Structure 1
Amino acid sequence: MKSYINVIDLGIISYEEGLRQQQKYVDLVKQSKNSSVSLNYLLALEHRPVYTVGIRSKVYSEEEENRLKKLGADFHRTSRGGLITFHGPGQLVLYPICDIRRISTKPLGVRSFVEKLEQTIIDSATSGFQIENVGRTENTGVWVDKIRKLAAIGIAVQNGVTYHGLAINCNTELSWFDNIVGCGIEGVTTTSLTQETQKSISVQEARPIFLENFAKNFDCLLC
């Protein structure tokens, strides 16, 4: 039987508020794990400008942190996988808060869960926006021509419940990424749906396409 996933629209919020909301829904999913019907959520939102570093960023100096804050962005150290990235307006952020065993019709491991997130982005970019050469590389995320990063992925799992998720650049101001080595990878650039299509694509326009492909790839029902 297909799982139901509740889509929660949080609008534009700070990263700190996003963390609070994630923990709120993580707790709800945990409480439902032993019941016959598991609760699962997909938080859809945009963040105010923020640089975040994941658990692989063992050292990120206070000097660097202050430099980024002076640009007008917040700075947060997080529990997700991955290195440094930027979140801000014009970027569609999706946080699946789900029982990883019950989100799909078959139990998933962390790797297969991430692969389904990647495929959701690939399908949306190719079929929804006719962008060519979208795919995976040896690095995390989804790329165009293997050198332009379209979307970032970083998840964490707490007692079998997923949180954090993916961020797709729609009409994001890409100059924010010029101040960092995105995800610690030299020699690559960041792109967006708008840049690749040469059409202004808003979060509101992109969201239904990504939700449709999320439901298809995870074989679930969104409500």
Structure 2
Amino acid sequence: MQEVQNKKIEVQELGLKDYKETWDYQEQLFEEILDLKVKNRREDTNLETPNYLLSVEHPHVYTLGKSGDISNLLINEKQLEEKGAKFYKINRGGDITYHGPGQMVIYPILDLDNFFTDIHKYLRLLEEAVILVLKEYGINAERSDGETGVWLDVGTPFARKICAMGVRASRWVTMHGLALNVNADLGYFDNIVPCGIKEKAVTSLNVELGKNQVDMEEVKQKFLNHFKDLFDAEF
């Protein structure tokens, strides 16, 4: 039976929330959608599957993807504690990254059967939403071949990453997502080899604009607008 396509996405603003708590919550929503899909298949029912988009900031934390190399974390447990940061090995793709205050973190938990079944396209559209946001601030951002995420000055000695990305998908249901540095404390990136890519810098929107602070809510709203258009979704 053809599943009903539900283009509605429930946007949830979680504020500043512990990484592990948010990860557990993502898993809960992810599993609920998967269970519903299995039920539809087994019982030949046609129940609508929900979609969520979580918007959150995290206290200082480092996360290592399942294919990541622990040696890319350059500090030990004691130093982590001194910096008030946590560390987790997690089940997304990608290597190591940092999350912290001043970073716009977005976790879309979507049933891609409601949109399109193409993970490559999904990642490219996430990148495109960020690229379009940055364009509104006069910043020319782009993709870097073979390196997921959004970059500035690709192909030059000044290449730097402004948005990291890592997702997990099962039966076309997604979790994890992206982290755009808006007002991030870039010093925390010195403790890792970001995304396992050596000799590439990291930047933040406020640094690029020469400002102390950029309005996070404004950035978020711009992102949601572009995301909605690109995914032909309803909020």
Q: Compute the displacement of 1:159 (Å).
A: 3.2
Check if 1:12 corresponds to 2:19: no
| Length, aligned pairs only | 217
Aligned to 2:25: 21
Q: For the residues of structure 2 that align with 1:124 and 1:90, how far apart are their CA atoms?
A: 16
What TM-score, normalized by structure 2, do the two folds share? 0.86
Aligned to 1:198: 210
Q: For the residues of structure 2 that align with 1:99 and 1:77, how far apart are their CA atoms?
A: 25
1:113-155: CA deviation from partner (whole Å, max 9, x where unpaired): 11111111111111x21112x1000211100112110100000
Q: Compute the displacement of 1:217 (Å).
A: 1.1
Identity of aligned residues (%): 37
Asked if structure 1 preserves the Cα contact closer than 8 Å seen for 2:72 and 2:193, the reply is no
**Structure 1: runs of 5+ lacking an equivalent:** none
Distance 1:163 1:58, change over 3 A: same
Matching of residues 2-81 of structure 1 within 5 Å: 3-33=7-37, 34=40, 35-60=46-71, 64-66=75-77, 67-81=79-93
1:172-210: CA deviation from partner (whole Å, max 9, x where unpaired): 111111111111111111111111112321322211000
Aligned to 1:111: 120
Aligned to 1:211: 224
Q: For the residues of structure 2 that align with 1:24 and 1:142, how far apart are their CA atoms?
A: 29
Aligned to 2:43: none
Aligned to 2:150: 142
The range that moved more, 27-36 or 183-192, is 27-36
Of residues 78, 82, 89, the one that matches 2:101 is 89
Q: CA RMSD of the aligned region, Å?
A: 1.9
Q: Which amino acid aligns with 1:122?
A: I
- Partner of 2:228, secondary structure, is helix
Q: For the residues of structure 1 that align with 2:82 and 2:67, how far apart are their CA atoms?
A: 24
The range that moved more, 67-76 or 190-199, is 67-76
What TM-score, normalized by structure 1, do the two folds share? 0.91
Q: Which amino acid aligns with 2:139?
A: I
1:82-119: CA deviation from partner (whole Å, max 9, x where unpaired): 111100001011101011221x2xx2311111111111
Asked if structure 2 preserves the Cα contact closer than 8 Å seen for 1:32 and 1:39, the reply is no
Q: Compute the displacement of 1:158 (Å).
A: 2.7
**Structure 2: runs of 5+ lacking an equivalent:** 41-45
Distance 1:44 1:61, change over 3 A: closer
Q: Compute the displacement of 1:68 (Å).
A: 3.2
Q: Which amino acid aligns with 2:231?
A: F
